[in-house]
């Protein structure tokens, strides 16, 4: 049976998030990404950050979210204190090695502590719906964002939840890139892991050597997303590229 389109949004979300990170900077080695909330979109940032080469810290105390990131492998470690998180991250930042850490704690208790201790992430994002925040929580979130931005952090909104105006929507970074290359996101499901591996090999052979965005994605995805079932691959493709790849696998 030929490969089929997929309606699962997990991998497309990770690819969109990774592409946004790549648009901000080509090399995230040695950088720290801080986020609040491990909803599926928040978990996608942890995975995308790992692919990009960053160290990421996601703060959430929702037991359902934490169980899910452990089940899917979205985070390498779940810790219970900021001290544990810092110890886990420090060497990896120094070595420019990727690591994703989930901190099981109340974000609004931890964020002021992060500011006090002088952690300086290069990107900050939140995945908490604004409508669920108390006025005090909204103030803490805004103050954290403002302080981190003043220290050089990019504030990126990977959702459609209308966060404060200081956050830049990821769509504003994606839209010009996709238009320039005439790329459309395709997600294709395969009958077996070997069929997926064969597709990845053909896709890599098709892409030009200078296409670091898509090549790094294709090289990292089999390792990062190996637990995903059924086997599938999301990829930005022009219409011509899509036709070539699908002709070869039909």
Structure tokens that stand for 216 in this block:
């790094």
Structure tokens that stand for 93 in this block:
């930042």
Specify whether the CB–CB gap between 168 and 159 falls below 8 A: no
Please state which of the four CATH numbers 3.40.50.10730, 3.30.559.10, 3.20.20.220, 1.10.287.950 is assigned to the domain occupying 10-171. 3.40.50.10730
Output the CA–CA distances (angstroms, integers) from residue 213 to 16, 19, 74, 237, in the order listed: 11, 7, 20, 12
pLDDT in tens, the chain (250 residues): 455 555 578 999 999 999 999 999 999 999 999 999 999 999 999 999 999 999 999 999 999 999 999 998 999 999 999 999 999 999 999 999 999 999 999 999 999 999 999 999 999 999 998 889 999 999 999 999 999 999 999 999 998 765 566 899 999 999 999 999 999 999 999 999 999 999 999 999 999 999 999 999 999 999 888 878 889 999 999 999 999 999 865 5
Sign of CA pseudo-dihedral 183, 200, 233, 188: positive
Question: Strand 232-237 and strand 154-157: pairing?
Answer: unpaired
Residue 38's nearest CA partner among 103, 82, 98 is 103
Q: Is 45 helix (H, G, I), strand (E, B) or coil?
A: helix
**Which residues make beta-bridge pairs with 123?**
33, 154
Can you tell me the distance from the alpha carbon of 167 to that of 180, in angstroms, rounded to the nearest whole number?
24
Residue 118's nearest CA partner among 143, 147, 161 is 147
For residue 74, with 0-12 CB atoms within 10 Å meaning exposed, 13-18 middle and 19 or more buried, which class applies? buried
Please, what is the end-to-end C-alpha distance for the chain in angstroms? 8
Specify whether the CB–CB gap between 124 and 54 falls below 8 A: no
Tell me the domain boundaries of the chain.
Answer: 4-8+173-249, 10-171
| Residue at token pair 């490969």 | 3
Can you tell me the distance from the alpha carbon of 33 to that of 38, in angstroms, rounded to the nearest whole number?
13
């Amino acid at each position: 049976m030929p490969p089929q389109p997929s309606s699962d949004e997990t991998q497309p979300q990770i690819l969109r998030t990774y592409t946004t990170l790549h648009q901000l900077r080509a090399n995230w080695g040695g950088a720290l990404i801080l986020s609040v909330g491990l909803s599926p979109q928040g978990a996608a940032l942890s995975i995308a950050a790992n692919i990009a080469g960053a160290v990421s810290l996601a703060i959430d105390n929702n037991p359902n979210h934490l169980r899910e990131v452990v089940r899917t492998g979205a985070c390498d470690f779940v810790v219970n204190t900021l001290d544990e998180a810092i110890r886990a991250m420090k060497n990896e930042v120094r070595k420019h090695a990727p690591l994703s850490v989930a901190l099981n704690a109340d974000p609004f208790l931890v964020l002021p502590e992060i500011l006090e201790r002088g952690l300086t992430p290069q990107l900050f994002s939140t995945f908490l719906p604004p409508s669920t925040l108390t006025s005090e929580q909204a103030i803490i979130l805004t103050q954290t964002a403002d302080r981190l931005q003043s220290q050089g952090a990019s504030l990126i909104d990977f959702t459609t939840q209308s966060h404060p105006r200081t956050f830049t929507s990821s769509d504003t970074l994606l839209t010009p890139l996709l238009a320039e290359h005439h790329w459309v996101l395709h997600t294709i499901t395969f009958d077996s892991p070997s069929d997926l591996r064969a597709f990845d090999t053909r896709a890599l052979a098709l892409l030009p050597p200078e296409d670091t965005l898509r090549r790094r994605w294709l090289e990292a995805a089999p390792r990062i997303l190996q637990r995903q079932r059924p086997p599938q691959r999301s990829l930005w493709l022009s219409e011509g590229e899509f036709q070539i790849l699908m002709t070869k696998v039909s």
